[in-house]
Chain A
């Protein structure tokens, strides 16, 4: 049985990818994730300058998943370039993840970090909890998406993926803007919200930033609908992300049109070997259904709904 995933010109050994912001801070942490079965990894997002991020609490869990407001802590592009300079034997393809406050910064990031040993680049236009970036800076509109995508496209030949927000509506228009500006794929979706959780003993928001992006189980059906909508809007590949915890969840995203899935929060629920586990569950499903490759059921929902 073949579970290799084809995303445009890229081929991954399997369709599970480490989502940005989970582990991914160092070359060593990527290797640890590849050793645990990931088909690809996305590094934690990098900005031009060093950022310490928000004070803690940065991450908390609740019934529906997780809230996080890390605030893009990262050592800055210069140190990141040294950290990720040799990715040849890390275990699989690594996607860079870049952020910026505007198109010029994204352009400068692409120039400073790429290509190196990276196999692709994910540009994040969708963080809901960092002032100056993502949706807090208005990057979630079709116009802004087009402008930023063009700026990065001019600086790199690497496969370029644009990570968009579930809160950008209609989401298909945002994806179309990215496609028209030269993106090779869409990563759907970032965390939603932001949301808020209060400590009722004190009345205080628990996250230091007060609000944070919602990931995990609560996000999954919203992510699935977003991928479904985007599939109807663009031709370029989609990488699905949002609450994928089991093989069933990965299959669901592939059925609505994803070529592969990213996994983040589930590292908490199922351990760092969640990648291996999800791949095993996908194979079990395919065996039962008599599928021999992912393409056998990719976009199935669109074909059967009539």
Chain B
């Protein structure tokens, strides 16, 4: 039970190398989170960073982490039995409204993590799941085995064509939205990818939900680091998961984000 906003120390129970640059760190704790929520992980004397939750069931919490900077480089040196701090869960969640029959999930890179949990919950409810999994290259495709275990055959695209279609996963998603009728589209990954998915869904009159990742400090809605233009809403509290309809009204969505100082940095298409 979380009483105060302070990290609790947990020992790493297991580490699984998922892809070239993603490891899942497991802890023997269940936080009763919902898909799309995040925790903040602390390494004393290093830093504290938010991570989306990849697994949270059967007394086991799994955080899939890509090695991208100072904090994650340190975490990747950690072994089973080492202590890290965790606080949370925080933030809004992906939801499966009553009556949905068929959904489209579009994940890019480590953005696949929360969508895999959402997929497993949808399958339990008898909802048909079409899953798009995109990455730079075959060895960076996350959770292919986990999806297979759910009887999901993901639509795959890689930048270099080493697996699935060569090109953007958003093109695959657009085609699926043209061909099929979905009750809702869900997306998590690089923001320019998310924006294309949300726009394509809107073009078909399909509802969508999107996770907007922003620089976060407190995680509980008061520091202001993750406020987005134009609403000023806090992506740690009123987000990270918002409706695609809302995201499309925000002038900074798909255009820029703020770094630790508050300085604005544009998203660049690669």
Given the interface contacts A31-B232, A58-B217, does A204 sit within 8 Å of B44 by beta carbon? yes
- Taking CB atoms, residues of chain A closer than 8 Å to B7 are 57, 199, 206
Which residues of chain A have a CB within 8 Å of any CB of chain B? 21-33, 44, 50-53, 55-63, 66, 70, 73-76, 79, 197, 199, 201-202, 204, 206, 208, 264-265, 267-268, 271-272
Instruction: Select one of A25, A33, A61, A74 contacting B5, CB under 8 A.
Output: A61
Q: Is the CB of A50 within 8 A of B6?
A: no
Given the interface contacts A28-B228, A201-B9, does A57 sit within 8 Å of B222 by beta carbon? no
Q: Is the CB of B224 within 8 A of A56?
A: no
6 smallest beta-carbon distances between A and B, as pairs: A32-B232, A28-B232, A56-B48, A29-B232, A23-B224, A29-B227
Q: Is the CB of B262 within 8 A of A74?
A: yes
Given the interface contacts A52-B260, A75-B262, does A28 sit within 8 Å of B227 by beta carbon? yes
Instruction: Select one of A21, A22, A63 contacting B4, CB under 8 A.
Output: A63
- Taking CB atoms, residues of chain B closer than 8 Å to A201 are 9, 83
- Taking CB atoms, residues of chain A closer than 8 Å to B234 are 23, 29, 272
Given the interface contacts A56-B47, A57-B42, A268-B220, does A199 sit within 8 Å of B261 by beta carbon? no
- Taking CB atoms, residues of chain A closer than 8 Å to B164 are none
B172 to A: closest C-beta gap in Å = 34
Instruction: Select one of A27, A28, A51, A199 contacting B6, CB under 8 A.
Output: A199
Q: Is the CB of B260 within 8 A of A25?
A: no
Interface range on chain B: under 10, 10 to 19, 20 to 34, or 35 or more?
Answer: 35 or more
Q: Is the CB of B49 within 8 A of A56?
A: yes
CA distance A51 to B42 in the complex (A): 22
Interface of B: prevailing SS: loop
B222 to A: closest C-beta gap in Å = 5
Known: A55-B47, A73-B262, A208-B45. 12 other contacts (CB 8 A): A23-B227, A25-B224, A26-B232, A28-B232, A32-B227, A33-B232, A50-B263, A58-B48, A63-B4, A197-B6, A264-B222, A268-B220
CA distance A76 to B260 in the complex (A): 12
15 examples of A-B residue contacts, CB within 8 angstroms: A22-B223, A23-B234, A24-B224, A25-B224, A25-B258, A26-B229, A28-B227, A57-B7, A58-B223, A59-B223, A62-B6, A75-B263, A206-B6, A208-B45, A271-B221
A36 to B: closest C-beta gap in Å = 10
B92 to A: closest C-beta gap in Å = 14
Q: Is the CB of B217 within 8 A of A56?
A: yes
B239 to A: closest C-beta gap in Å = 13
B231 at the interface (CB under 8 A from A): yes
Chain B 186-223 against A: per-residue CB contact (8 Å), 1 yes, 0 no?
00000000000000000000000000000001101111
